[in-house]
Structure 1
Amino acid sequence: MPGFPTYHALGAMVLTVGMFIAFARGRIPTEIVSLATIALIALGLFFFPLDPLHPTDGLVLAFSGFGHPALITICALMIMGRGLVVTGALEPATRFLDGVWKINTQLGMLVSLLMAMLLSMMVNDTPVLVLLLPIFVALAERGAMAASKTLIPLNAAVLIGGMATTIGTSTNLLVVSIAEDLGMAPMRVFDFTPIVAITALVALPYLWLVMPRLLPDRGTANLRQHRAFAATLRVDDNSDLIGLTPRDLEDQLPDNFRFEGPLDRQITANSRLPVSGSHRALDEAMRLFKARVAPAWVIERLNAAAQSQQADVVVVEMAITPGSRLVGLTIPSSGVAGQFGVAVLGIHQQERSPDRGRHEYSELQLKAGDVLLVMGPISELEEFAETDRLLMLEGAKEVPRRSKAVLAGAIMFGSVATASFGLWPIAIAALGGSIAMFVTGCVKFDRVGRALSANVIVLVAASIAIGRLILESGAAEWLGLVMSSGLQFLPPAAVLAAIMLFVTLLTNFASNAAAATVGTPIAFNIAQTLGLPAEPLILAVLFGCNLCYATPIAYQTNMLIMDEGGYVFSDYLRTGVPLVVLMATTLSVLLVMFYM
C-alpha cells in the first residue's frame, strides 16, 4: 500500500473534490467555480510552490489551459458548428426525418436515433440536438409520440454518437490532448469508432424499444404552442403553381399550414393567396412552392441593408401594445416597410377576423394584442419596436443563409477528412476550417460570441489546470497506486470497467470535463503500474466521460431537453442507469478484444 500523500498532492485532491461538490450543488455558476479554481491554484502554488526555486511556475500552470491546443480546437469547432446551423446546411436531413415520421412512428424513431448518432460523430452534440429538438416537439404537437417519450432517447443517441470520434465532443478532445501530454501516441479521429459502432448496435434496441416505455406520457400540455399567422402567399411569373388550384395542393401542404378562402380558384401569375400557418410552416411552404410572403422590393431592401451593415436577417414575433400607433391601421397604411426597412410576414390575431380568408392579411385592421411576424436586420427591428411601441417576444430566429449551405458543409467535411487521414493535427484542421468559415461569410465576425460558450471556455481552462496540478503534484501517481493495489488481482475487462464506472460516477454528478482531466492521468499511471497498454485505459476514461445519461446535470444537452419533455430527476435515473451498465459492460469487453 502507498504511504500518505504529500501536502501538494493532498491539496490537489481536496481542491478537486471541492470543485466537484460546487459543480454538483449548482448554487454557484459554473464559470465562477471554474475561475475560483484557477485563482486558488495560482495563489496556492505561488505561496507554496512545487519548486521553491521557481515560484512563478505555479502561475504558468494555473493559466496554461487558456492557451492549450484542446481549448483552441474546441472554440474552432464551435465556430464551424455555428456555420452549419446559420447556413441551414443540415436542413435537408431534418426535412427527410420529418417525412419518415409521417410514414411510420416506429420507423421514424429508429431512423431518428441512427441519424442523431451519425450527425453527432462530426458535429458537436449540442448543435445536433438543437437542430433536431424542434422537429420532435412539432411531431409531438401533431399527435405523434409524446416528446416526453422521445427526447431522452434522442439525447442518448446523440451522446453515443459523440463518443465515436475524437471530435465528437469537447471532452473527447480533452482526454486525447491530456493523454498526448502524458506521452501516449496521438489518436486519429476514427481510431476507436468501430468499438463505439458495435456498442451502439447493442444499445440501439434499448433506446428504440425499451427506453420510451420507461418514460411517462406527459402529452403536449407543457410544450410551446405555435401561433398561426395569417399571411399572403405571392406567386411569381415562373412558378410551378400557375394553372393549379389550392385544392390540387392539399396533399403537399406542410403541417400547420392551410389556404384560406375558396379552394377552387385557379392560380395565375402574380396571384396573392390568403394562407395561415406557423412560422415554420410558412417557411416550409415558401421553400416548397417557391413563393414569397412579403413583397419582393421589401425583401431586396432589407437584404441590402443587412449586407451593408454586415448583420444577420432575423425573424421575430412582436406583440402590439395598447399604446401603439398601429392600432386601427393596416400593414400598408402603417408604412412600416418604407419607414423601418422591415417586412411583416404575417399577423396572429387574438380574435379571428370574420374577413379573414376573403381578403389579404395586409388588409386586416390591427388590434392591441395581435402578434406580428416581422423580418429584418436586428437594428431595424429594435427601432421599429421602440418607435411603434411593440413588445419583442422571445424566440428570435435567424434566417439561414442557404446560399452558403453547401460551402459550409464542404468546409466542415474538408476539415474533418484531412484530420482523420492524418494530414495535420485536428487543431490545425479546425483552425483552418473556422478561418475559412469567416473568409467565405458562412460565419460573421460580429457573431462569434454566439458560437463560443464562455462557460465551456472557462470550464475547459480550469479542467486543464486541475489536471496538470493532479499530475505534477503527485496526486495522480498516488491515486494510481491506491487503485492499482485493488485492481491488480482483477482481469483486464474488470480493470477497464472499474475505471470507466469511476469516471462515469464523477461525470453524472459533476463536470465531465473535470472528470476527464482527473481520470486521464490516473488511468495512465495505472497502466504503467500494472504493465497494461495505456490506450485502452485512456479510452475507458473517454467512454466513461460520455456515459452521462443518469442525471440532468451530467451534460448540457440533458438540461436542454428537461423543460421540453417535462422531465424530473427520476426520469433520467430510471432510464440512464440501465443504459450506463449496458454501455460500460459492452465497451469493457470490446476494449479487451481490440487492445489486449
Structure 2
Amino acid sequence: MLIAVTAFWFFASGRIRIEIVSLVLIAVLAVGAYFFPIEHDGSYTGLEIAFGGFGHEALIAICALMILGRGLVVTGALEPAGRLLTRLWKFSRLLGLLFSLVVGGLMSMFVNDTPVLVLTMPIMINLAIRAGVPASKTLMPMNCAILIGGMATTIGTSTNLLVVSIAEDLGLPRFGIFHFTDVALLAALVALPYLWLVMPRLLPAHSADDEQLTRRFRSMLFPREASPAIGQSLKALRKRFDGALEVVGAVRKGSLQSDSRFIVEFGDAIEVEGTSAELQELSSAMKMPLVRPAMMETVETFAGDKGEGQVMAELVIGADSSLIGQTIRSAQVIDRYGVAVMGLHHPEQALFPGRSRADVERLEVGDVLWVQGGSAALDQIQISEGTMMLEGAAEIPRTAKAGPALLIFAGVVLLAALHLVPIAVAALAGSIVMLATGCVKFDRLGQALSAKVIVLVAASIALGRALLETGAAEWLGSSLALGMQGFPGAVVLAIMMAFATLLTNFSSNTAAAAVGTPIAVSLAEKLAIPAEPLVLAVLFGCNLCYATPIAYQTNILIMSAGGYHFRDYVRAGLPLVLLMICTLSVLLVWKYQL
C-alpha cells in the first residue's frame, strides 16, 4: 500500500515523467519480490510479478490496437466522416455540433480515443473558423464525447482492456466486446444534451486566432552588430521593454545570465517571453533576428531547393510525437527538416521553472513550437514527428489503402464480437495484416506505439497483481467493507465509482484501474454482492476523466488549441463527472437489481 500511494503521488504531482515513475515502480517491485518472495499456492512468486505485465494479454491487445488505429488514421479511412461534418456544419451550426458529437463518440467505440481526436481536432478547428464559432466552444465537448464513446466497448480504450483483463485474472467470466455497451450508451444519451447545449456556454469564447494572439513563447533574439541592444545592461533592456514582454536574460557561451548588471555583447543571445506578434515587432525594431544566422541559411537552402517561400507556423506536439522527452537542441529539426524553432510555449504552467533555457527544456504533449520554414518542410515534420499545425492544418490525405484498412479493422471487431478468438489474438492478427498490406509501414511503428503507455500499463498490471498477492487489496476491501456495513449495494457501487473517478482525474487512469479492480472484487466478496457491477463501476469511473487537464492525454492535446485553463476543465468538466456518476450508478443498480 505504501508503494501504491507513493506511486500515485508521483503520478499526480507531475514532477517526474510518467514513464520514469512506471519504470522505477517496476524496479522497486522487482527488488522487493526478489528479496521478500510471496508465497502463493505453495510456491514463491517473485520477479514474475514485477515483469509479468510486459507479457500480459492486455498489453499485447493494447499495442495491437494502437497499430490498427494508426492504420485507420494514416490511410484516411475515417476521412469520409470528416467531409460529412463539413457539409452539415455549413447547413446548421447547432445540428453540425450535435452530429459531430455523435460521430466522434461512435468512432471512439472502436478506435482508441487519441487517434480519433487527432483526426477530428483539425477538422473542428477549421469548421469553427469557417462558421465563426470560437474553437474553445467545440473542442472540449468533442473531446468529452470521444471519451464517453470510448468507455462503451472493451476495445474503446486501453483502460477498459486493462480492467476486464484483471477481472478475468481474478476469476470473473470473460467480458464480451459489447458486454456493457447498453449501460454506456444510455448514459451517453443523458450526457449528450449537456455536451451539446450546456457545456459550450460554460467555456470561454477563445477562437484559434484569439489564442494565437495571447499565446506566449520563450524565444531567443540574436543582436546584430548595429543593434541598439549591444552595450546595454539587462536592467536597461528590461526597463526599455517594460510591459507584456519579459527579458529573461542573456545567453553567453551556453550559460543563461540573469544578473541585471550583465552587459550584452555581440554574439550573445537575449532570451525573452512574449506573444509572437510582440516578438516579431521587437525583432524588427531592435535589429535582432529570431533565428541564428547560420540556421537561417539552412532554412533558406531547404526552401530554395524546392522553389518555395518561407512561412511561420505553430505546431502542437501530439500524444504520439517522437519529440516528446527531447529538447529543441537534441531534436535537431533544423538539420533534418530545414525548420527553425523560434519559440516554445508550455500551456497552463509556469513556462520554465528555475529559469532554464528554452532550448534545453524537455518537450511534452501539448507544447507549441513556433517555427519557420518552407511549406513542404512543415508538412514533412507533421507527418514524421507527430505534430499538428494549429493554423492552416491540412486534411489527412486519402490513399488506396483506406478500403483494406477498414476491412481489416472490421474483421478484428467481428472476430472479437463473436468470441471466435480473444481480442488480443484478433488485434495482433489484424496488425500483422496491416503491416503485410502496407497500411502501416514497419519503419513507422514507433509512431503507432506509445512507449509511455506500454510501460505505464506494464507497471499498472504489476502493481495490481502485487496488491492482490500480498493481500493489500483484500485488506483495503475489508476496511472499506467494514466502513460500508449496512450500506445498500447501490451506495457501495456509487462510492467505488467515485473513488475510481477521483484517482483517474489526479493520477493515471490505468494505474487507478489496476488498483481499483482488485479492490472491487475483494469488496464484493466481503459484502456478499455481485462482483461484476462493482468492476464495471471501476471501469466507468476510470473513464470519467473530464475535470482536470492532466487526467488524460487528449485533455492536454486540446489545451493549446482551445486556449483552455485549468479552471475551464473544472468548471465545465466537474458537472459532467457528477452527472455521469449518478447516471451510471442508477443504470448499473437497475441492470443488476442491487
Give me the TM-score of the superposition, normalised by structure 2: 0.71
CA distance in 2, matches of 1:524, 1:398: 46
Instruction: Report matched runs for 1:477-516 at 5 Å.
Output: 477-516=474-513
User: AA paired with 2:50?
Assistant: A
Q: Please say which structure displays the higher CA radius of gyration.
A: 1
CA distance in 2, matches of 1:436, 1:376: 31
Quote the residue 1:72 is aligned against.
60
User: AA paired with 2:401?
Assistant: K
1:162 aligns with 2:150: yes
CA distance in 2, matches of 1:87, 1:400: 7
1:373 aligns with 2:361: no
1:576 aligns with 2:573: yes
Aligned-pair CA distance for 1:538:
0.6
User: AA paired with 1:142?
Assistant: R
Say which is worse superposed, 516-525 or 142-151, in terms of deviation.
142-151
1:548 aligns with 2:545: yes
Answer whether contact 2:40 2:469 (CA < 8 A) is retained: no
Answer whether contact 2:113 2:157 (CA < 8 A) is retained: yes
After superposition, the Cα gap between the structure-2 partners of 1:51 and 1:558, relative to the gap in structure 1 and judged at 3 Å, is same
Answer whether contact 2:299 2:373 (CA < 8 A) is retained: no
CA distance in 1, matches of 2:582, 2:119: 31
CA distance in 2, matches of 1:43, 1:397: 50
After superposition, the Cα gap between the structure-2 partners of 1:102 and 1:24, relative to the gap in structure 1 and judged at 3 Å, is same
Quote the residue 1:173 is aligned against.
161
After superposition, the Cα gap between the structure-2 partners of 1:223 and 1:99, relative to the gap in structure 1 and judged at 3 Å, is farther
Q: For each residue in 1:436-457, what CA deviation from the matched residue of structure 2 results, as whole angstroms up to 9, or x when unmatched?
A: 1001000011110000000000
Quote the residue 2:15 is aligned against.
27
Aligned-pair CA distance for 1:144:
2.6
CA distance in 1, matches of 2:114, 2:396: 20
Answer whether contact 1:45 1:55 (CA < 8 A) is retained: no
After superposition, the Cα gap between the structure-2 partners of 1:399 and 1:375, relative to the gap in structure 1 and judged at 3 Å, is farther
1:539 aligns with 2:536: yes
Quote the residue 1:387 is aligned against.
none
CA distance in 2, matches of 1:487, 1:153: 36
Q: Return 5+ residue gaps in structure 2 as ranges.
A: 214-292, 313-339, 341-370
Q: Please give the secondary structure, in 2, of the residue aligned with 1:142.
A: helix
CA distance in 2, matches of 1:471, 1:46: 17
Answer whether contact 1:320 1:371 (CA < 8 A) is retained: no
User: AA paired with 1:23?
Assistant: F
Quote the residue 2:28 is aligned against.
40
After superposition, the Cα gap between the structure-2 partners of 1:321 and 1:442, relative to the gap in structure 1 and judged at 3 Å, is same
Answer whether contact 2:493 2:585 (CA < 8 A) is retained: yes
CA distance in 1, matches of 2:398, 2:205: 37
After superposition, the Cα gap between the structure-2 partners of 1:136 and 1:58, relative to the gap in structure 1 and judged at 3 Å, is same
Instruction: Report matched runs for 1:126-205 at 5 Å.
Output: 126-205=114-193
User: AA paired with 2:441?
Assistant: K
2:199 to 208, 211, 223: 211
2:521 to 521, 524, 529: 524
Quote the residue 2:252 is aligned against.
none
Quote the residue 1:268 is aligned against.
none
Aligned-pair CA distance for 1:30:
0.5
Give me the TM-score of the superposition, normalised by structure 1: 0.71
Q: Aligned-residue CA RMSD in angstroms?
A: 3.0
Q: For each residue in 1:5-29, what CA deviation from the matched residue of structure 2 results, as whole angstroms up to 9, or x when unmatched?
A: xxxxxxxx11111111101110100
After superposition, the Cα gap between the structure-2 partners of 1:325 and 1:72, relative to the gap in structure 1 and judged at 3 Å, is closer
2:582 to 557, 576, 585: 585
1:402 to 399, 403, 428: 399
Answer whether contact 1:113 1:154 (CA < 8 A) is retained: yes
Answer whether contact 1:47 1:55 (CA < 8 A) is retained: no
Quote the residue 2:362 is aligned against.
none
Q: Return 5+ residue gaps in structure 1 as ranges.
A: 1-12, 226-318, 337-342, 351-367, 383-392
Q: For each residue in 1:90-110, what CA deviation from the matched residue of structure 2 results, as whole angstroms up to 9, or x when unmatched?
A: 111111111111111111110
Answer whether contact 1:87 1:405 (CA < 8 A) is retained: yes
Aligned-pair CA distance for 1:222:
4.6
Q: Please give the secondary structure, in 1, of the residue aligned with 2:416.
A: helix
Q: For each residue in 1:528-581, what CA deviation from the matched residue of structure 2 results, as whole angstroms up to 9, or x when unmatched?
A: 111111111110000000001111111111111111111111111111111111
Aligned-pair CA distance for 1:487:
2.2
Aligned-pair CA distance for 1:189:
0.4
Aligned-pair CA distance for 1:373:
2.7
CA distance in 1, matches of 2:379, 2:125: 28
CA distance in 2, matches of 1:79, 1:475: 35
> Identity of counterpart residues, as a percentage?
58
CA distance in 2, matches of 1:146, 1:139: 10
User: AA paired with 2:11?
Assistant: F
Q: For each residue in 1:63-96, what CA deviation from the matched residue of structure 2 results, as whole angstroms up to 9, or x when unmatched?
A: 0000001000000000000000110101111111
1:123 to 111, 115, 130: 111
Answer whether contact 1:497 1:584 (CA < 8 A) is retained: yes
Aligned-pair CA distance for 1:399:
6.9
User: AA paired with 1:29?
Assistant: R
Quote the residue 1:297 is aligned against.
none
Answer whether contact 2:123 2:395 (CA < 8 A) is retained: no
Q: Please give the secondary structure, in 2, of the residue aligned with 1:27.
A: coil
CA distance in 1, matches of 2:143, 2:311: 36
Quote the residue 1:6 is aligned against.
none
Q: Please give the secondary structure, in 2, of the residue aligned with 1:403.
A: coil
Q: Please give the secondary structure, in 2, of the residue aligned with 1:81.
A: helix
Aligned residues: 451
Q: For each residue in 1:337-393, what CA deviation from the matched residue of structure 2 results, as whole angstroms up to 9, or x when unmatched?
A: xxxxxx66x64679xxxxxxxxxxxxxxxxx999533289979x99xxxxxxxxxx9
User: AA paired with 1:501?
Assistant: A
User: AA paired with 1:552?
Assistant: P
Say which is worse superposed, 567-576 or 393-402, in terms of deviation.
393-402
Answer whether contact 2:311 2:375 (CA < 8 A) is retained: no
After superposition, the Cα gap between the structure-2 partners of 1:325 and 1:397, relative to the gap in structure 1 and judged at 3 Å, is closer
Say which is worse superposed, 484-493 or 174-183, in terms of deviation.
484-493
Say which is worse superposed, 568-577 or 163-172, in terms of deviation.
568-577
After superposition, the Cα gap between the structure-2 partners of 1:475 and 1:324, relative to the gap in structure 1 and judged at 3 Å, is closer
Q: Please give the secondary structure, in 1, of the residue aligned with 2:108.
A: helix
1:460 aligns with 2:457: yes
Q: Please give the secondary structure, in 1, of the residue aligned with 2:38.
A: coil
After superposition, the Cα gap between the structure-2 partners of 1:54 and 1:491, relative to the gap in structure 1 and judged at 3 Å, is closer
CA distance in 1, matches of 2:212, 2:90: 21
Quote the residue 1:84 is aligned against.
72
CA distance in 2, matches of 1:123, 1:191: 17
Q: Please give the secondary structure, in 2, of the residue aligned with 1:51.
A: strand
2:96 to 97, 101, 108: 108
